[in-house]
């Protein structure tokens, strides 16, 4: 079976890009199609994959400014020629679900989220935009909403990465979806019986991750916080940080796993679609203190493998940390690690391939 994997863009490595590699593990001869590809910012192994980019790749500074070209993305994806493929799988949180396929080719969209900045997070993105973006966004986003809704109709089968996202697909696209949790690279080392005295965050530095809340809470409590990651908000976050906050930059997977093993708890103040890092933390036996909304509600067991705070505020997170310091959680670190095994990559491969087989059978019968 000749398979095409379509992904929005390959300019940084995160959870969605791990999913792309999982698809490649299932279909090793597949070709990856994407808007733009920055080989300097992606792991070196991606240079050995068969990657086809859109015409935007040749635009000046496209790999850095691609988000500013949102209005041009639909035409770029629609121009991709996928006519020779037996199956198209899109890994989508933006526009790549809008690719055009033949009537004989099923398109399965693994949806990380309906496009955030077009739908329910539009106001947040607008409030943090610069002057020019605020000037042009309202009229542009209206056109993008119309296109995005039409693009969703081109998908034959939707798969959501969480039940939370399944509800959003139903609301914005009026489509049903099957939920298959993504596979997470679990920590191979056994959980430690006793942790060091620090909290940890592993994240890209973007606004909706709300790393600022964790920094201010740990400033207030004078708790040591180790932050691993990088991104656009780096300067702002470092200005917020007090003497107990430590920035370690971007580390290798092995270094991140080692840092998780010794952490007291993982702080997760953002609202995520699924959120692989809470699972990565739990796979090291580390409890998660998370904002009680979004995908975290499906990966963290309140009171057992972690605690939730109800408001996305510094005070609410401070109360959660204080409660954890006083009472902890009921599961031991080894029990937390055992619980995380349900989110393994092997389970994802097995469940997704079984669903593809089901879809292909239905497609042929129709």
Mapping DSSP to helix (H, G, I), strand (E, B) and coil, where does residue 110 land?
Answer: strand
Burial of 310-324, coded b for 16+ CB within 10 Å and e otherwise, reads: eeebbebbbbbbeeb
| Beta-bridge mates of residue 202 | 228
**Amino acid 117: pLDDT:** 72
CB 159 within 8 A of CB 177: yes
pLDDT score of 139 more than 80: no
Residue 280 φ then ψ, to 5°: -60, -40
pLDDT score of 231 more than 90: no
pLDDT score of 133 more than 90: no
CB 147 within 8 A of CB 172: no
Mapping DSSP to helix (H, G, I), strand (E, B) and coil, where does residue 107 land?
Answer: strand
pLDDT score of 126 more than 60: no
* Alpha carbons 226 and 198: distance in angstroms, whole number: 7
Mean residue pLDDT across the chain = 94
Helix residue ranges per DSSP H, the chain: 15-26, 62-65, 73-78, 122-127, 131-153, 163-173, 211-221, 234-240, 253-262, 276-282, 296-299, 314-327, 333-339, 345-365
CA dihedral 145, 150, 154, 159 (to 10 degrees): 40
Other C-beta atoms closer than 10 Å to the C-beta of 152 total 21
CB 34 within 8 A of CB 10: yes
Tokens (6 digits) for 354: 């079984």
**Amino acid 193: pLDDT:** 92
- Percent of the chain whose predicted confidence (pLDDT) is above 90: 85
319 — pLDDT class (breaks 50, 70, 90)? very high
**How much is the average pLDDT of 69-86?**
96
pLDDT score of 202 more than 90: yes
CB 50 within 8 A of CB 28: no
Look-up: residue for tokens 């955030």?
A: 116
Instruction: Give, to the nearest 10 degrees, the angle between helix 131-153 and helix 163-173.
Output: 90
pLDDT score of 125 more than 80: no
Count Cα atoms within 13 angstroms, Cβ side, for 332: 8
* Alpha carbons 224 and 241: distance in angstroms, whole number: 11
Tokens (6 digits) for 161: 């990465």
Does residue 92 come out as left (phi exceeding 0), alpha (psi in the -120 to 50 range) or beta? beta
pLDDT score of 184 more than 70: yes
* Alpha carbons 308 and 330: distance in angstroms, whole number: 14
Sheet of strand 306-309, all strands in order from the earlier edge strand to the far edge: 245-247, 225-228, 199-202, 265-268, 288-291, 306-309
Long-range (24+ apart) CB contacts under 8 A made by 313-321 are: 313/213, 314/213, 314/216, 314/217, 314/220, 317/213, 317/214, 317/217, 317/267, 317/269, 317/289, 318/217, 318/220, 318/221, 320/289, 321/199, 321/217, 321/218, 321/221, 321/223, 321/265, 321/267, 321/289
Tokens (6 digits) for 107: 């398109």
pTM of structure: 0.90
**Amino acid 135: pLDDT:** 64
């Amino acid at each position: 079976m000749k398979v095409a994997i379509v992904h929005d863009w390959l300019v940084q490595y995160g959870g969605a890009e791990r999913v792309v590699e999982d698809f490649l593990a299932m279909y090793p001869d597949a070709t990856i199609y994407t808007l733009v590809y920055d080989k300097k910012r992606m792991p070196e192994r991606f240079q050995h994959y068969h990657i086809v980019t859109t015409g935007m790749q040749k635009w000046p500074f496209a790999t850095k400014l691609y988000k500013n070209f949102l209005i041009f993305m639909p035409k770029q994806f629609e121009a991709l020629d996928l006519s020779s493929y037996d199956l198209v799988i899109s890994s989508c949180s933006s526009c790549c679900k809008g690719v055009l396929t033949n009537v004989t080719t099923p398109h399965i969209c693994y949806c990380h989220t309906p496009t955030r900045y077009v739908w329910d997070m539009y106001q947040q993105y607008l409030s943090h935009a610069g002057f020019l973006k605020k000037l042009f966004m309202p009229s542009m986003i209206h056109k993008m909403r119309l296109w995005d809704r039409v693009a969703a109709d081109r998908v034959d089968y939707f798969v959501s990465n969480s039940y939370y996202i399944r509800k959003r697909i139903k609301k914005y696209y009026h489509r049903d979806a099957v939920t298959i949790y993504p596979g997470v690279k679990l920590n191979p080392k056994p959980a430690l019986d006793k942790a060091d005295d620090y909290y940890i965050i592993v994240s890209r530095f973007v606004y909706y991750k709300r790393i600022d809340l964790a920094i201010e809470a740990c400033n207030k409590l004078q708790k040591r916080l180790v932050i691993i990651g990088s991104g656009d908000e780096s300067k702002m976050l470092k200005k917020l940080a007090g003497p107990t906050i430590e920035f370690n930059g971007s580390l290798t997977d092995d270094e991140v796993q080692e840092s998780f093993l010794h952490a007291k708890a993982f702080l997760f103040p953002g609202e995520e679609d699924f959120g692989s890092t809470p699972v990565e933390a739990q796979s090291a036996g580390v409890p998660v203190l998370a904002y009680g909304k979004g995908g975290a509600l499906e990966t963290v067991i309140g009171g057992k493998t972690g605690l939730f705070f109800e408001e996305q505020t510094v005070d609410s997170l401070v109360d959660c940390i204080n409660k954890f310091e006083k009472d902890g959680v009921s599961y031991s670190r080894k029990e937390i690690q055992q619980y995380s095994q349900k989110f393994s990559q092997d389970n994802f491969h097995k469940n997704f391939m079984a669903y593809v087989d089901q879809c292909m059978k239905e497609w042929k019968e129709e």
